[in-house]
Structure 1
Amino acid sequence: MRALRLPRLQILVRQREAAFVVLAALVGVLSGLAVSAMGFLTQLLHSLLYDVALTDRLSAIEAITSEQALIPAVGGLFVGLSAWLIARFRTSHLVDPIEANALHGGRLSLSDSVIVAGQTILSNGFGASVGMEAGYTQMGSGLASRLARLLNLRRADVRVLVGCGAAGAISSAFNAPLTGAFYGFELIIGVYSIATVAPVMASALAAMLVTRLLGTVPNMIEVPPFPNLSAADYFPFLILGLVAGIVSVGIMRLVTFVEKGFVATRCPSVLRPVLGGLGVGGIALVMPQVLSAGHGALHVELEGGSTIWALALLFGAKVAAAALSLGSGFRGGLFFASLFLGVLLGKIFSIMANPVMPLAVDPTVSAVVGMASLAVGIVGGPLSVTFLALETTGDLTITGIVLTASIMAAIVVRQTFGYSFSTWRLHVRGETIRSAQDVGWLRTLTVGRMMRGDVKSVPVSLSLAEFRKRFPLGSSQRVVAVDESERYAGIVLVPEAYAPEADTKANIVSILRHKDDMLLPAMNVKHAASIFDQSQSEELAVVDNRLNRKVVGLLTESHLLRRYSEELDKAHRGALGEEPADEAAIR
């Protein structure tokens, strides 16, 4: 029965917008269930390992024992062993939702997602200073991608559904549907369009309702009351946004520096998380607030009034613990850690700014603005974090201040660094993407797909007179020349062979063009276009490789640009949620 009904379901989802919205809501339900399960397992580990109640937060405890300080190292051993086993049986790296949507058309392995989710639970559950949000979004997006591929959806629809999975995960994690929806738009889909609003919002709302019904919202943030604000209060927080942007870049670079430091020690990769766990445990002996993502510590600091030295010391300790955790190989992210660090930075800023500012800087307001601006600097997504502030505080005035400071932080990071933490990690690995916008088609549109294979060639020893007999003027524009070993030698422009001053007894070597300008079948359209631009040729030969130089085809610049334009238009239509031109014509 399933085989008979599935094609009908595919057609229904692909052709009816309402059906796609229902499918997105189902993805939201699955994301909410996944987040609830992962959050419960993490809390259970905290309870069993650190002897805290299931309703309490690990980072809010006052002290840990010396035996408990070794728990992160034990977790590091498990994480290291799991990574070693995975590396033995896999040749490819684990793909995250941003990379999947940018390069693979939303194709995300569910097994990859389960692995990432499991390693994130181990890392956070044993106390490493990492957040769960990366695992949440990975699991939600993985479920969405598997469902989309089961229904054989179009590339654009798969990408949107992956964004729905991530939106549902963040929505359920923070009890904030607008935050989740714009997280999906800004960070996973890479573009906002009218056609994608309904499915993404449906997923975010469905996921939030699931965690509310189950009573398992893992990242609920509660903000104490704060005074009324006015337009005059914007200026100090512009400075805070600037500072947050600079600090964000420093934190991201520090994580990479620590990671390279572990590699430089030549310590086996399986043992690096153990060393990182020992470091985190040592810091936690003095400041247990660094354990896990920092939910409990964040609420304590929002409501408390620590001294500037205590805040600065905790800030430095949390940065060090997070850098050790991620740099040594623990799995997780910096989303919630950046929120916690932002609260500390905002409190420090308010204490330092009040003596010199003409207007008082409220510590709670400064904490909320710092929380949002630092998160934007590290994670990206100014609108998603601004909506988090709105849904957390319910105050439109502070939302405007948060948006202004967040944009300032985003500008600083973009101008001085250019990456969010997720895309920076990809850059360190060798990728060039800076967002989830779909650029995968650029890599699949290769010279081998665009070239024509009917190549006419002549030997370089051919005389000019014989060449004229074979190719009368007007019969062709260009002819490929090869040497005695059938290797590419250059291109003959037929009009040049008929120049009056040409010596007809000589061979064609003297009029060969583009002897070293050639294309390879694996080159993508962007690389090929740059070679056309450098060579100033309208047509180039395609060779199997630069060593053999055997001619396998020809490609014209006009055909390359036409195909590029067609694929660019198709990608643009997909991003806006429009139907491809050919499908619209069929209907």
Structure 2
Amino acid sequence: MDQPTPKTAAAAPTVKAPSRFRALVRGNEVGLVLVAAVVGAIAGLLVTGIGWLAQALHVVLFGLGHGERLSGLTALVSPWSALLPAAGGALLGLSVLVLSRRKARALVDPIEANALHGGRMSMRDSGIVVLQNLVSNGFGASVGLEAAYTQISSGIASRIGIAFEMRRSDLRTLVGCGAAAAIAAAFNAPLTGAFYAFELIIGTYSIVTLAPVVAAALCGTFVARFLVGDAFLIDVGDPGIVSTLDYPPAIALAILAAGLGILVMQGVTAIERGVRRSGLPMALRPVVGGLVLGGLALGTPQVLSSGHGALHLQLDLPTEISALLLLLVLKALASAVSIGSGFRGGLFFASLFMGALLGKLVSDLAPLVFSSSALTPVVFAIVGMSSLAVTIIGGPMTMTFLALEMTGDFPITALVLASVVTASLTARKTFGYSFATWRFHLRGESIRSAHDIGWIRNLTVGRMMRTDVRTTTFDTSLKTFRRDFPLGSAQRVVVLDEAGAYAGIVLVADAYSDAITDPEAKVEGLLRWSDAVLLPQMSAREAAALFDTAESEALAVVDRLETRTVVGLLTESHTLRRYAEELELRRREAYGETR
């Protein structure tokens, strides 16, 4: 069932596709695959363009030479460059100030859009995220561009889907196609992009979603390869071989990575709380964060940006244990400060870089405990990258396929799979969230994944209630009540007080009880559930819980608790039936039975 556009999604007029094309896409799975391929191609163009703009900012602002990466510098070209993150923070703070004065709503990302809004996203929101992410990364904040990539690609996919008037399930799938193509193009890894969509954006894998998501991921990859070449974003060289004896140190590393990932996420939260308690205006928070980042960059520029150049530098060169540990701490601090002070961006690549540092650090210490292991530092780095990324980002299969596409080595992929499962399980049992869902939790949202729960919130009491409510006043006598409501005419009657507000419910059968001997008695003495009422905005789940608590088969619906004006009546049986019907509809959509 198609759902109305929520207030949090863009409600601006949209251009509708011609009716014949809408019918093709809505009624034919091939049509959806073709649209997904177009979305993938557009995403490949956007990812390439955004990446080029960010690198151009680095070249202009930080004075990089040809082929240099910001985080690959051994020292800043000028000490004054340390002030650039603060300058970027000032621009970002200005944008925050403008948005706050316009009372802009909270920005909706692809996970939230698919979980709560049926895949509906705002192009305005997406544009804001791209600009803020570009400013943050371009001026050196320790964040990646993945947020911009997935936001704009999924946003365009959403608007295309709305133009085709897609069903809710198809629109959610198309949003996932946008994200899949974005990640695939960014990492030159179509399998990674596809499973990123399945695990993190769509929230499930099914045969119906396979073809469009894979088509989008492949098209995004092909376009990016055509524009910038087919070199893999992370070149690990020759990683070496893996044996059975190498699993224990890899599992130990995965557990350490899970712990580090949890510390990073909690560190971001701690810095955010500290900044809020400091009383700093929101517009100045990124400036202060930028000054801290600049100070860290004076020590080592490898803490800046997402870490592409630094990752290749650390994979290629041997490094002392003390230097690795210091860089790991500084990078974790830089990432936490960047996000916590208000810079916009993702932690995908930053988590890969920190995981590689942790892996190389463990590779130097592992022989002291696991003398039989022959893993190379590069394999330890790959395991660390995957394990830390799965803790912060989520998606065990996503990180497994990333390792496969980086190395092309199945034994290493099996080792990574065991490691990411261990890290994911450890984080889930000790912390319970990825970075995105942890942020939702702090906002008071109950989102644990992109699995569609928006339909539950849309199935409200106001949509399910009946409005033809039979009422009487609480000073009505039983004689009059029996005359107005004979047996069989109704099961229950809502009673109103002298001000017309809800007073309770009288069961018609109670009014005809043989235990009542005074026919002039008032119905006031038969009132039930005087304190239990429903509100129109309550969800079916909340209504079912209230039915259970009140031990009632029906409850009155009032406009609000202050006035208690009766607007409807809802029964428990109807609520459960409607919930079951919607649940069955979602199951059928997942298997493609509604097309």
Q: TM-score, normalised by structure 2?
A: 0.95
Aligned positions, number: 579
Q: Is the 8 A contact 2:536 2:559 kept in 1?
A: yes
Q: Does 1:527 align with 2:539?
A: no
Q: Tell me how far apart the structure 2 counterparts of residues 358 and 157 of structure 1 sit (CA, whole Å).
A: 53
Equivalent of residue 462 in structure 2, options 445, 448, 453: 448
Q: Equivalences for 1:318-337 in 2 at 5 Å? A: 318-337=331-350
For residue 485 of structure 2, the aligned residue among 471, 496, 501 is: 471
Deviations 1:59-117 (A, max 9, x none): 11110121011111111111111122122224311111101111111111112111111
Select the residue among 109, 125, 142 that pairs with 2:138.
125
Q: Equivalents in 1 of 2:310, 2:143: separation in Å?
A: 14
| SS of residue paired to 1:481 | strand
**Contact 2:157–2:178 under 8 Å retained in 1:** yes
SS in 2 for 1:355: helix
Residue 162 of structure 2 aligns to which amino acid in structure 1?
Answer: R
How much has 1:217 moved relative to structure 2? 7.0
Match status 1:510 vs 2:525: yes
The percentage of counterpart residues that share the same residue type is: 53
Distance in 1 of aligned mates of 2:304 and 2:558: 57
Please, which runs of 5 or more residues in structure 2 have no aligned partner? 1-13
1:226 aligned residue: 239
Q: Does 1:482 align with 2:488?
A: no
Per the alignment, residue 255 of structure 1 pairs with 268
Which of 20, 27, 30 pairs up with 1:8? 20
Q: Is the CA contact 1:482–1:489 (under 8 Å) kept in the aligned structure 2? A: yes
- Aligned in 2, Cα 1:532/1:320: closer, same or farther, shift over 3 Å? same
Find out whether 1:28 has 2:28 as its counterpart.
no
Matches within 5 A, 1:125-274: 125-215=138-228, 220-274=233-287
Provide the secondary structure at the position in 2 that maps to 1:186.
Answer: helix
- When residues 497 and 219 of structure 1 are mapped into structure 2, their CA distance, relative to the original with a 3 A threshold, is farther
Letter in 2 for 1:498: Y
Q: Distance in 2 between matches of 1:134 and 1:4?
A: 28
Q: Following the alignment from structure 1 to structure 2, what is the Cα–Cα distance between the partners of residues 13 and 308? A: 56
State the partner residue of 2:445.
431
1:107-118 aligned at under 5 Å gives the runs 107-118=120-131
Give the match's secondary structure for 1:207: helix
1:324 to 1:216, Cα distance in 2 relative to 1, 3 A? farther
Quote the residue 2:428 is aligned against: 414
Displacement after TM superposition at 1:246 (Å)? 1.6
Cα separation, 1, equivalents of 2:326 and 2:345 = 23
Which residue does 1:568 correspond to in 2? 583
| Counterpart AA for 2:196 | Y
Aligned mate of 1:57, from 56, 69, 79 = 69
Mapped partners of 1:427, 1:576: distance in 2: 30
Q: After superposition, what is the alpha-carbon deviation per residue over 1:296-323, rounded to whole angstroms, capped at 9, x for unaligned? A: 1111111222121111100000011111
Aligned counterpart, 1:396: 410
Aligned AA for 1:434? Answer: R
SS of 1:119's equivalent? Answer: helix
| Contact 2:200/2:449 (<8 A) preserved | yes
Matches of 1:229 and 1:52, distance apart in 2: 38
Residue among 73, 81, 91 paired with 1:78:
91
* 1:283 corresponds to 2:296: yes
- Shift, 1:216, TM fit: 5.9
Native 8 Å contact 1:71 1:127 kept in 2 = yes
Alpha-carbon offset, residue 499 of structure 1: 2.0
- The CA distance in 1 between the partners of 2:64 and 2:400, in whole Å, is 33
Q: Per-residue CA shift, 1:487-534, capped at 9, x if unaligned?
A: 111111122222222233321222211110111111111111100010
Which amino acid letter does the alignment assign opposite residue 129 of structure 1? S
Contact 2:208 2:590 in 1 (8 A): no
Any conservation in 2 of the 1:476–1:494 contact (CA below 8 Å)? yes
Amino acid at match of 2:567: V
1:103 aligns with 2:116: yes
CA 1:353–1:270: 2 relative to 1, 3 Å: same
Alignment of 1:347 onto 2:363: no
SS at match of 1:67: helix
Structure 2: how far apart are the matches of 1:355 and 1:264?
45
Deviations 1:169-204 (A, max 9, x none): 000000000000000111001110001111100000
- Residues 405 and 466 (structure 1 numbering): CA distance in 2 closer, same or farther, change over 3 Å? same
| Structure-2 residue corresponding to 1:585 | none
Residues 470-479 or 489-498, more deviating: 470-479
1:545 CA displacement:
1.1
What RMSD over aligned residues (CA atoms) do the two structures have, in Å? Answer: 1.6
Contact 1:134–1:332 (Cα < 8 Å) also in 2: yes
| Deviation of 1:27 (Å) | 0.4
What is the SS of the residue equivalent to 1:491? strand
Q: Distance in 2 between matches of 1:453 and 1:179?
A: 51
1:577 aligns with 2:589: no
Q: TM-score, normalised by structure 1?
A: 0.96
CA distance in 2 between partners of 1:381 and 1:68 (Å) = 37
Aligned partner of residue 489 in structure 1, secondary structure: strand
Counterpart residue identity of residue 22, structure 2: Q
Seen in structure 2, the aligned counterparts of structure 1 residues 217 and 334 have a Cα distance that, compared at 3 Å, is: farther
Q: Secondary structure at the match of 1:479?
A: strand
Q: Are the counterparts in 2 of residues 69 and 284 from structure 1 also a CA contact under 8 Å?
A: yes
Partner of 1:583: none
1:542 aligns with 2:557: yes
Q: Which residue of 2 aligns with 1:499?
A: 513
**Contact 2:147–2:345 under 8 Å retained in 1:** yes
Task: Verify the 8 A CA contact 2:232 2:406 in the aligned structure 1.
Answer: no
Q: Give the structure 2 partner of residue 554 of structure 1.
A: 569
Q: Determine helix, strand or coil for the equivalent of 1:106.
A: coil
Give the structure 2 partner of residue 382 of structure 1. 396
Q: Take 2:16 and 2:184, find their aligned partners in 1: how far apart are those partners?
A: 35
Are the aligned partners of 2:17 and 2:164 in contact in 1 as well (CA < 8 Å)?
no
